[in-house]
Amino acid sequence: MAHPREHSAGAGPRGPEHQTRHLDCRVTHSGFCDGGGRPAGAALPRCAAGELRPPGRRQPALQRAGPGRSGCRSLLARPGRSDQCAGVRSGGPLQRIDFCGARHWQPQTREAGAPQIAGRPERHARHQGRARSEKSDESRKSAINRVAACANNTGSWVIFGIKITPLHQLRIQESAVAHLILLGIVYVSFISLGLPDGILGVAWPAIRADMGQPLAAVGAITIAMTISSATASYFAGVIAKRVGTGAVVAASCLMTALALLGFSIAPSFGWLVALGVPLGLGAGAVDASLNHFVAAHYSSRHMNWLHGFWGVGATTGPLIMGLALASSGGWALGVRSIGLMQLTLAVVLFATLALWAKEHSKPPAGEDAHGTATFKPVRPLATWLAPTLFLFYVAAEMGTGLWAASILVTDRGLTQAQAGVWVSVYFGSITAGRFAVGLIANRLGNRRLVRLGIAVASAGALVFALPAVFGGAASVGLVLMGLGCAPVFPSLMHETARRFPDDVARTVIGRQMTFSYVGGSIIPAAFGLLATWAGLGAVMPVVVLILLALLVLASTLDRMT
């Protein structure tokens, strides 16, 4: 005999058994459900022994759960409560079963036979009318479900051959496009940042001749730019926190552009010194702000590549100035051309300010063993030790670049053209090395790259410092040193956002850029005093000692953070 849980058309002693389900639950019994849809103590609907009741509006929501048992699926049941109810037998009580006021639907997997009617046949007639309407409703719902399943699988709907992308997918695509646009702007900004760095040395002979200044007068412009850049870098983190990185970068780029355009029309040398202040302020602020933004939002690969693009800008600037000097426009045309490039970039930056605030990407969490979201307690000594690393590194890199040509010409007998080629190869090795390191930066991690780079740079500096041992091959040490220096600056900068929390990292990066300007200006000048007192041969051994000290300090900082 069929059990009363088989309340469906076609269920009989030998007929197929069908599950009965409800789409909504409105009527519950206080003794079995959590709601109070039925008065307490109300009688439960039962079937007499051997009878089957056709589906109606007041039947329990049952699901086939094996012989002698049924599954209770209540939409109002508490989460975590078991959905297995006690078995139901003919005429027996129902336990923990919700009574639902919704209509039934019948599965389409089996063919239904003639219904068995108990009692009032007019109820079955009403049910048959409802069943036909519900069947059409279910057909529509089934079609909708198939379309939704297609959308979930493919991310879009295809209706009548037309592909329709959901709104959230469009938003994701727009976010990805905005991310790529902003990344491209950052790359162009790094190229622009390097454009003015090398033009003063190339243009100074022509500027000095036009304005009747001595050779050493360029020091006044350099000092004004260095002090301004160091000051702007120190406070860039605080300003960027208040107004946003995008606004700082755009305003700094505009300030640099206006200063360069002012250079091109300056009537006297005093104006050049005065314009060195906004030029230095803009360069320092944009340098610190961009480095922090990249460290916080992009991977170590992008940090190395971005600094490689800075090298592209630093190489392109002197080429532009050289072409201008060869033309009738002179040095003013070269400075004006670079100023107009900066002005164009400033317009683009102001037009895309909204993209900077919407950038929420983060570097891959697994790119470095130390790149986790947790930080060690911040020690004040560490916040100053990190900038000291930049002072030592920039002193070694810039000191070698400044004095290598003099060492090759004075002590080793090379011509000025040959010495110039070797210095160009040295800086070219740094730029090329950064592009190459970017391919493996995420795999090796910042800290390992820093230690490996310092070790290679120390070996290269040692080879260049010992011509008596290596002979003519000593100059190859410049190439080896350049390749070793390539990952040090970008990796140290990128690791700052992983050593310290964001607020602290902003301040530390500002200090790092300040110490970089100090190390690139004061210590290379001190090498000149050393060369005067002990000879040019003493410069490179001191550079080796600086690099070894840098390796010790970097290891100490790694243990502290």
Would you say residue 293 lies in a domain? yes
Q: Are residues 561 and 477 in the same domain?
A: yes
Q: Are residues 388 and 437 in the same domain?
A: yes
- Distance set, CA 388 to CA 140, 343, 458 (Å): 71, 34, 18
Q: Are residues 64 and 94 in the same domain?
A: yes
Whether 544 shows a pLDDT value over 90: the answer reads yes
Query: Whole-model pTM?
Result: 0.61
Q: Are residues 323 and 466 in the same domain?
A: no
Q: Give the C-alpha separation, 19 to 497, whole Å.
A: 59
| pLDDT at residue 110, rounded to an integer | 45
CB environment 399-413: b (16+ within 10 A), e (fewer): bbbbbbbebbbeebe
Averaged over 222-232, what is the pLDDT?
88
Whether the Cβ atoms of residue 38 and residue 51 lie closer than 8 Å to each other: no
| pLDDT at residue 132, rounded to an integer | 54
Would you say residue 485 lies in a domain? yes
Would you say residue 10 lies in a domain? no
Q: Are residues 427 and 352 in the same domain?
A: no
| pLDDT at residue 392, rounded to an integer | 95
Q: Are residues 312 and 385 in the same domain?
A: no
Averaged over 527-531, what is the pLDDT?
86
Among residues 549, 312, 524, which one has the least CA distance to residue 405? 524
- Residues with Cβ < 8 Å from 151, sequence gap 6 or more? 157, 166
DSSP β-bridge partners for residue 164:
157
Phi, psi of 4 (to 5 degrees): -65, -10
CATH code of the domain covering residue 464: 1.20.1250.20
The DSSP H or E segment spanning 252 is helix 245-264
Render pLDDT for 114-159 as a digit per residue (tens, 0 to 9).
Answer: 444 444 554 444 545 555 555 555 655 555 555 455 544 445 544 4
Q: Which has more confidence, 474 or 120?
A: 474
Q: How many domains does the chain have?
A: 3
Written as one letter, the residue type at 145 is N
Q: Are residues 241 and 330 in the same domain?
A: yes
Structural tokens at position 400? 């070698």
Instruction: Kindly write down the DSSP assignment for every residue of 37-50, as one continuous string.
Output: SB-TTPPPP---TT
DSSP β-bridge partners for residue 111:
none
Q: Are residues 345 and 465 in the same domain?
A: no
Q: Are residues 191 and 244 in the same domain?
A: yes
Q: Which domain holds residue 210?
A: 170-363
| pLDDT at residue 12, rounded to an integer | 46
CA dihedral 102, 106, 108, 110 (to 10 degrees): 160
Radius of gyration in angstroms for the set of CA atoms belonging to the chain, rounded to a whole number: 38
Q: Are residues 83 and 174 in the same domain?
A: no
Domain-ending residue, one of 307, 335, 363: 363
Would you say residue 12 lies in a domain? no
Structural tokens at position 214? 């001595």
Domain-ending residue, one of 363, 387, 414: 363
Whether the Cβ atoms of residue 158 and residue 150 lie closer than 8 Å to each other: yes
Q: Give the range among 264-278, 406-420, 437-451 with minimum mean pLDDT.
A: 406-420
Would you say residue 474 lies in a domain? yes
Q: Are residues 383 and 319 in the same domain?
A: no
Would you say residue 304 lies in a domain? yes
Structural tokens at position 185? 């702007």
Q: Are residues 261 and 187 in the same domain?
A: yes
Among residues 196, 509, 463, which one has the least CA distance to residue 341? 196
Would you say residue 393 lies in a domain? yes
Domain-ending residue, one of 363, 379, 408: 363
The DSSP H or E segment spanning 523 is helix 502-534
Averaged over 535-559, what is the pLDDT?
93
Q: Give the range among 116-130, 358-372, 400-414, 546-560 with minimum mean pLDDT.
A: 116-130
| C-alpha torsion sign, points 191, 197, 200, 202 | negative
Averaged over 220-247, what is the pLDDT?
87
Would you say residue 359 lies in a domain? yes
Q: Which has more confidence, 526 or 104?
A: 526
